Each structure stands twice: as structure tokens, then as C-alpha cells.
Structure 1
């Protein structure tokens, strides 16, 4: 099956969304054809498995169909898709959460993950929004936790080096990192809650 990826104009999109709310399958197909690739590409920023990304695309559009009556046609549909996608990506990560996942995915936004050459403008905006939110969370940390986290993630110091620099034990460094990661995980999950209602 050949899928043509075409972007919908705002006026046309409003009409398609109205038809989607009425349960029209053709309208759903139009939206899928217009946006599946953007959802896929955004997922690829955070998920390395092609199969998982394809599954995420399917889950996103299942949610769109299930929540069709709640969609506001005059609001930003791409933003709506982004929220759903983000939620599914983080729910997927929650199943196998560990520190290395955050190093490779979400927290990489904190340390300049924007180097990805084939990010299009829209993906950069989405990643930038996530980056801004993570920065806000980091800025809200207690001073010592923030200092430890920045030394670890921005300056790439080991726990031993951080302990020496701050004159604290390695165990204390580990506890700070653990608390920060827990705090970020909880708040990122809140940030990615499905906001259809």
C-alpha cells in the first residue's frame, strides 16, 4: 500500500477534523496520510527500534480515533499529536526505565541533542520544547542536587570526580543523582499525560 504524505492546509484540516469527529473513516485516513511520517520521525528521536516506532505510530492514531469526539478542530492538531506521541514514548520507556535510557533519550535533550542532522524544523521545535521543560525542572532543583546533576550530565564528571570537587562522599553523589532522576521521571510523566479531556 502506497501512502502519500501530504500536509493539510489549516482550513482544509478543520473540515477534515469536523468529519473525523462525525466518525468518517476517510477523514481519519487523510489525517493519517498527512501526519504519520511526522509522528514516526519524532518517535525516532527517542526510540531506537524501527519496529517500536511503527508500533508507536499505530498507537497514536488509535488514540486519535478513540478521542475523535474530544478533538477541537480550531486548535493545533499537530500539537495534539505531539502530546499523544510523547505520552506513548514515555509510557514505553517507563516499562524498562533505567538511567541509561534517560542518558540516551530524554536527558540527551539537556546536553544538546539537537545535533541530529536529519531533524526537520518541526522536530527541532518539539525537542526544544522538551529541552526547555527539562531545563525548568533542573532549575527548580535544590542547589546541591542541581550542582551535582549539572556536573554529571553537562560536564560529564564521574561520581568520584564530583565527590572530590564538592568535598562530599560518592554515596552522597549517587543519592543526589538518584533523587534528580526520580524527580525528572515523575515530572516528565506528568508532562506527558494524555490531554484530550
Structure 2
């Protein structure tokens, strides 16, 4: 079923007002496009199913925002991409200097899984090659997930010095990722590891 712009807008307004029947209709229409979009990003049917459910749950929780949406397909695809990036960030930051096993196991592409692991290991080596203080700050920020304020308190550096070390370190890693010429990994890993 495909809705024209006017019918879609009316449906979104109805959902925004809290109409559960309209929300069910919205899910029925857009579930599979969202699912297949997530599947192309995650390469895992289980993960795609879970993420699609999460995305529609969030849409319902923030349904009031739908009143301002002009194109729901674009809106939900952006929401899907952001959800995948957020999940990747959590998986990477939950590691102890290693790519999570579940990230590799849930990915149906052995080649891509190997790329993730190789790239993550290489990023850690890049961090290890940084000046000692910058290396310390980068590990605290991007691996341990500490805030700039927490890093400043632990290291005795000023907040501006912490920020400088992070910016310099991120530039080094971005250049490294770009030179590996792996666009998909650059998008996901830069979002997950670098833009936290």
C-alpha cells in the first residue's frame, strides 16, 4: 500500500494525536521498507528485526513530532540510520580494547566482520602511536567513554587541553580511516568511535 502526500500527512497527524489504530496502519505500511533498510546496514536479520521494533517504538514515544514531518519515508530512514550508528557506538565503546564478539557473530558477512576487526585493531595501534598524554586522553574518551570533564579531573589537564588532545587524535584517526579507502567502515566507525 502506498499513500500519497496528503493521505500520509493526515495519517501522521492522527498518530501525532495518539490514535493507536492510525499508528498500527503506519507500521503496517512502512515496516518492511524500514526493515530492509536496516538489514542492508547491519547484515543481520535478527538485528534488523530488533532495530525495526525499536525504531517504531521510539516513533510512537515521540509521536507528537510527526505533525511536523513532510516525508515520513525520509524521516524514518534517517531515524533508522541514526539508530544503527548509536547501537554501533555502544557496542564499540563497551569493548575492552577489542571488537565485541557479538558484533562479529551477528554479522552475516565474514568479510565485513574481518574488516571491522582489522580496522578496530588498527585504530588501537594508531592511538598507541600518539604522544603519551594524547594517547591517555583518547583511551579515556573513546574507549572508556569518559566525559571531557572526567578526563580533566583524572589527568589534571584543563578542559581546553583535553578537548585539544581529542580533536588532534580524531584528526589522526580520520586520516588513517580515509587512507584505508573503506567507505562503509569509515562511515560507521567514524560515527561510532569518533563522534561520541
Q: TM-score, normalised by structure 2?
A: 0.52
Aligned-partner Cα distance in 2 for 1:87–1:19: 25
Q: What is the match of residue 18 of structure 1? A: 13
Q: Pairwise mapping of residues 26-45 of structure 1 onto structure 2 (< 5 A)? A: 26-45=21-40
The SS at the match of 2:42 is coil
Q: How does 1:1-197 map onto structure 2 within 5 Å? A: 6-97=1-92, 98=99, 104=112, 146=175, 148-153=176-181, 184-185=191-192
Change (3 A) 1:152 1:54: same
Aligned length: 125
SS of residue paired to 2:67: coil
CA RMSD, 1 decimal: 3.5
TM-score normalised over the length of structure 1? 0.51
| Aligned-pair CA distance for 1:39 | 0.8
Higher helix share: 2
Gaps of 5+ in 2: 93-98, 105-110, 117-170
Closer, same or farther in 2 for the Cα pair 1:188/1:78, shift >3 Å? farther
Q: Is the 8 A contact 1:39 1:81 kept in 2?
A: yes
